[in-house]
Amino acid sequence: MSVIAAPPKGRKSDRPVSVASPKKNVIGFLANAVLVVIGACFLLPLCWLIFASVDNKATYQTKFPEEFSLDNFAAVLTPELTFLPLWNSLIISVGTAGITIVAALLAAYPLSRYQARFNKPFMYGVLFATGLPITAIMVPVYSLFVQFNLLDSIPGTILFMAASSLPIAIFMTKNFMDSVPITLEEAAWIDGASAMGALRLIVVPLMRPGIAVVGIFVFFQAWGNFFVPFILLLSPNKQPAAISIYSFFGQYGAIAYGQLAAFSLIYAVPAIVLYVLVSRGIGGSFALAGAVKG
């Protein structure tokens, strides 16, 4: 966890360079070549997305557009095609991240600061829950939502998504909180602050980067989630972008490839921006993975 809490800038360059390797150039050249080939293989599928989005006559073939046009974007940027689904995605993701962070911060405080017999089994339970396949419980969640009359309700969906991201969020938040030294709070306690006051005034400000990582991680997952809203939200005006993407399929018999690609890019941009924010500003390139790094 210390990796995230204090990300060393530019790790690569700080790394001592081996002076004992005689064949460095040959190995380096081979490594570069192999990396470039693998990179090209990974890039190919992405090329279609980018080329098709600026091509009026796009198909599933990857080809450089004959003429560059932004018509696809213009066609897609309408309230019902893009803005409403993106707005729904935003509400769901912000709601999920907000609830998750508040609940996780509150839960992490006693877990991190007090020793109780209850803590260890609770953390084991949380860790166990992070491993459960959420996909598996979607069928029972559906029938439970039918019973509670929560189907097609955005708040209900948000609460479920918050519940499913809470185990990992509590886990990460507790780890971040453990790295905040307790001495500062002890000073505050002596000055008469309550536990919650110390949490709000001392711990939270000190672990702001950690909170940002958790928040962005949860937001990121909620933003990209397809299966949960696919099962729980039925009316088109409540569905997030992940579901409305299907409206480019077969509605008028043919698939609007170019528009599909353009919409996909618009929908993907917030995820990309958030990732860049986390990896550049807050943690290392592995900040999101860091929570589970062994």
Partner 1 sequence: MTAEVLAPQDTHVRRPKSNSGSRRRPVREIVKAMRMIPLLPAILIMITFLAGPIIWSIYGSFTNASLTGVNASNPQWIGFENYLKLVNDPVFPLSIWLTAIFTFGSAVISQNALGLGLALLMQKADKKVTASVGTIIVAAWILPEIVAAFVCYAYFSLDGTLNQILANFGMTGPNWLYSFPMFAIILANLWRGTAFSMMVYQAALNDVPPEITEAAMIDGAGGSKRLLLVTIPMIKNTIVTNTMLISLLTLSVFTLIYVMTAGGPGNDSTTLPILAYKEAFRFSNIGYGTAIATVMLIIGAIFSVVYIRALRPQKD
Site for partner 1 in 88-147 (CB under 8 A): 99, 102-104, 106-107, 109-116, 118, 120, 122-124, 127-144, 146
* Residue 174 in the binding site for partner 1 (CB under 8 A): yes
Cα–Cα dist 106/131, whole Å: 22
Stretch that binds partner 1, among 47-55, 66-74, 79-87, 202-210 (CB under 8 A): 47-55
Rounded to a whole number of angstroms, the minimum distance from the CB of residue 134 to partner 1 is: 6
242 lies in the binding site for partner 1 (CB under 8 A): yes
In the structure encoding, which two tokens stand for residue 262, read together?
A: 């353009």
Q: Considering only CA atoms, which of 148, 165, 153 is closest in space to residue 229?
A: 153
Stretch near partner 1 under the rule CB under 8 A, chosen from 66-74, 80-88, 178-186, 201-209: 178-186
Shortest distance, position 70 Cβ to partner 1, whole Å: 19
Ranges within 212-231 binding partner 1 (CB under 8 A): 220, 223-227, 231
Tokens of 293: 């790094």
Query: What is the phi/psi pair of residue 187, to 5°?
Result: -60, -40
The rounded distance, in Å, linking the Cα atoms of 253 and 249 is 8
Lookup: tokens for 166: 């809470």
Residues 2-21 that bind partner 1 (CB under 8 A): 3, 11-13, 15-16, 18, 20-21
Give dist(CA 103, CA 77) in Å, integer.
36
Question: Does 45 participate in binding partner 1 (rule CB under 8 A)?
Answer: yes
**Cβ atoms of residues 282 and 209 within 8 Å:** yes
